[in-house]
């Protein structure tokens, strides 16, 4: 049996049935928790989008719609045209072609970027940091279960359906058992009627088995994200094959226009890691000030910036994993995470009241600050020896 001290861990999104390769299941908790977890902050944080187009997009005074020539349609038609365009590069190209089109194009590009970011965001999803010793679904926190694979297979993280052949070729007892069942039933690929069983056979669901526990089933069958999903702008498709003054000017204009629609995380706002299920939140500014360990750190938006003593910090991404850690034997983590399997998000405090819920929000920053501080002190020898903290 694996020593609990050296068990591996994976971070799982239970609503999307996926994991992330930054926590791949092979490292002990103390070896990865102080790494840079900005990737998780970006997945959980809800960015802010500008609501008004910048002045550079506004047409000069006295500009007439007749300057658009054959495109001198009513504004409603212009909005309809932009609404039919899905690619950011196409919206950008049309919007920068004339200042009278810029504002409508700017709002459409904001809409597209917001939608795409929401599609890949983990904000509001149920998160758990799973230990290797979890063998059965019943080992998870009470009431916590991953969604069925058949219900999430169309999400961006799942790029294809499993075919009948895929299942048979997969290693492990599942494929062998499927073949054995078919042999006993007298069915084959050629003569079996899969119409009534297609859904069951195409989607692999976990079943308790001696040869493969839940943790390793997840490791094999849940897709791993490699990075917080990056936008594909595709702007280079329109780069004019030669470098002329005009093409350089057009390139700068499209770059400036696209950059003006970028999401951002206001550093002037107070940000917090939020448990949407329990209506609790923890301020980033409090976690940035844990004595000794977070010396000279500060919160800038949802990010905690390290000070002068060490590059190893405990940011909101680390806090999310610490509070969602769950295993049948927690080892050096100590207590199980009270937020394991809860819906998490990183939000501005000023936006909390917009979240639906029957109860008011509770600030638990003080007690969670103390929980993290005591945990660090219990493991101070490891931190000082291996991480120079």
Give the residue with greater pLDDT, 281 vs 162: 281
Least confident of 15-19, 88-92, 103-107, 159-163: 159-163
CB atoms near residue 360 (< 10 Å): 8
Least confident of 14-18, 91-95, 246-250: 246-250
The helices-and-strands tally (H runs, E runs) of the chain is 15, 11
Q: By the 8 A CB rule, do 28 and 333 touch?
A: no
For 281-330, the pLDDT digits (tens) are 999 999 999 887 777 888 999 999 875 555 678 999 999 999 999 999 99
Q: Look over the chain and give the mean of its residue pLDDT values, rounded to a whole number.
A: 83
Give the residue with greater pLDDT, 204 vs 304: 304
Who's near 28: CB < 8 A, 6+ residues apart? 5, 6, 7, 8, 9, 331, 332
Q: Full-prediction pTM beyond 0.85?
A: no
Q: Which two tokens stand for residue 62?
A: 């006295």
Q: Report the alpha-carbon distance of residue 343 to residue 333 in Å, rounded.
A: 21
Q: Does pLDDT of 202 surpass 60? A: no
Secondary structure letter of residue 305 according to DSSP: E
Instruction: List phi, psi (to 5°) of 129.
Output: -100, 105
All structural domains of the chain with their residue ranges: 4-12+27-47+266-386
In the chain, % of residues over pLDDT 90: 46
Q: Is 58 helix (H, G, I), strand (E, B) or coil?
A: coil
């Amino acid at each position: 049996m694996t020593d609990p001290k050296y068990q591996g861990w994976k971070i799982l999104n239970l609503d999307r049935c996926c994991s992330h390769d930054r926590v791949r299941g092979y490292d002990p908790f103390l070896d990865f928790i102080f790494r840079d977890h900005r990737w998780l902050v970006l997945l959980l944080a809800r960015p802010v989008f500008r609501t008004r187009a910048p002045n550079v997009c506004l047409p000069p005074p006295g500009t007439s719609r007749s300057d658009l020539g054959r495109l001198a349609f009513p504004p409603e038609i212009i909005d309809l045209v932009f609404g039919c365009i899905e690619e950011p590069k196409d919206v950008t190209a049309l919007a920068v072609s004339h200042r009278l089109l810029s504002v409508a194009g700017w709002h459409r590009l904001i809409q597209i970027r917001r939608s795409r970011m929401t599609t890949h965001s983990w904000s509001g999803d149920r998160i758990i940091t799973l230990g290797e010793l979890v063998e059965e679904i019943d080992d998870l926190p009470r009431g916590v279960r991953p969604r069925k694979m058949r219900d999430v297979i169309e999400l961006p993280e799942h790029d294809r359906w499993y075919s009948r052949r895929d299942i048979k070729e997969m290693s492990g007892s599942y494929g062998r058992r499927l073949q054995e069942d078919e042999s006993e039933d007298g069915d084959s690929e050629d003569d079996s009627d899969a119409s009534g069983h297609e859904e069951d056979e195409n989607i692999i669901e976990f079943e308790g088995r001696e040869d493969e526990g839940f943790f390793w089933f997840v490791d094999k069958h849940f897709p791993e994200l490699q990075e917080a999903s990056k936008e594909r702008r595709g702007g280079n498709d329109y780069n004019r094959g030669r470098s002329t003054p005009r093409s350089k000017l057009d390139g700068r204009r499209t770059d400036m226009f696209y950059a003006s629609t970028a999401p951002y995380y206001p550093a002037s706002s107070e940000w917090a890691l939020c448990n949407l299920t329990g209506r609790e939140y923890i301020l980033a500014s409090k976690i940035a000030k844990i004595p000794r360990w977070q010396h000279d750190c500060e919160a800038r938006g949802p990010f905690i910036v390290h000070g002068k003593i060490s590059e190893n910090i405990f940011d909101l991404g680390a806090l999310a994993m610490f509070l969602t850690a769950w295993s049948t034997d927690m080892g050096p983590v100590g207590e199980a995470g009270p937020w394991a399997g809860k819906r998490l998000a990183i939000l501005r405090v000023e936006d909390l009241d917009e979240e639906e819920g029957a109860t008011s929000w509770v600030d638990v920053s003080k007690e969670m600050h103390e929980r993290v501080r005591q945990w660090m002190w219990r493991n101070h020898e490891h931190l000082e020896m291996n991480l120079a903290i």
